[in-house]
Amino acid sequence: MTARQHKLRTQLVQTDLGRAAVQIFAANDRMNQLLIEHLDPAAWRAKSPGNVRSIAAIFTHMHNVRGKWVRLTAPHLKVPAQLNRARCTPQQARAGLAESAARCKDMLAEALGGSGRIEKFRLYHWPAGPEMLCYMLAHEAHHRGQVCMLAHQLGFPLPNKVVSGIWNWEKLWKEGGVSPRP
């Protein structure tokens, strides 16, 4: 393989990785939206057992951390406005998460698409790579687990079709406007 062929192949892999990262993060955000859509409104601010965040605080934290990722890693992108966990409604959380997901997808497309504009995931000074996406997904999955468990403990369990629905990636990609899947 010539140096030019290797470079073209590397660019193609990076472009595919960037596109897949955007699609994967879209499915990830759809999971969050699905939980909020089906959450009993009484659970949103319900007092939790022990000294743990409310469900409202968990979702606002997820949005606000996304803004931090964008601010530190891709300062040229518009950083979404922070949400206030004491006053945020489910509708505001859904809108905020949709906006911060869009910025994260832009950031991932640049970081993993081979443009060279984003070189580091500034939160930990890691090179921009798959580890960045994995960290972002793991952070959000952790908090979705907290939400599902907390809703159940508070007496507002999410329907089984919703809890199992977050594993139906084909449907999530379609609902998130992603086609075809990665």
In a domain, 154, yes or no: yes
Per-residue pLDDT of the chain (182 residues; tens, 9 = 90+): 655 543 434 444 457 888 889 999 999 999 999 999 999 999 999 988 788 999 999 999 999 999 999 999 999 999 999 999 999 999 999 999 999 999 999 999 999 887 778 888 887 778 888 899 999 999 999 999 999 999 999 999 999 999 888 888 888 777 766 665 55
In a domain, 37, yes or no: yes
* pLDDT, position 49: 77
Q: Judge residue 13's burial from the number of C-beta atoms within 10 Å of its C-beta, 0-12 exposed, 13-18 middle, 19 or more buried.
A: exposed
Question: In angstroms, rounded to a whole number, what is the distance separating the alpha carbons of residues 21 and 139?
Answer: 15
Q: Give per-residue burial for 120-148: e unless 16+ CB within 10 Å, then b.
A: ebbeeeeebeeebbeebbebbeebbebbb
In a domain, 42, yes or no: yes
* pLDDT, position 8: 39
Q: Coil, strand, or helix at residue 89?
A: coil
Domain that holds residue 41: 3-175
In a domain, 182, yes or no: no
* pLDDT, position 180: 55
* pLDDT, position 116: 78
DSSP per residue, 121-154: ETTTTEESSHHHHHHHHHHHHHHHHHHHHHHHHT
In a domain, 30, yes or no: yes
Tell me the two tokens of residue 101.
């997901």
In a domain, 181, yes or no: no
Question: In angstroms, rounded to a whole number, what is the distance separating the alpha carbons of residues 11 and 70?
Answer: 24
* pLDDT, position 11: 47
* pLDDT, position 179: 61
Q: Which of 101, 89, 99, 103 is nearest to 36 (CA)?
A: 89
Q: How many of the other CB atoms lie within 10 Å of CB of 180?
A: 7
CATH number of the domain where residue 123 is located: 1.20.120.450
Q: How many domains does the chain have?
A: 1
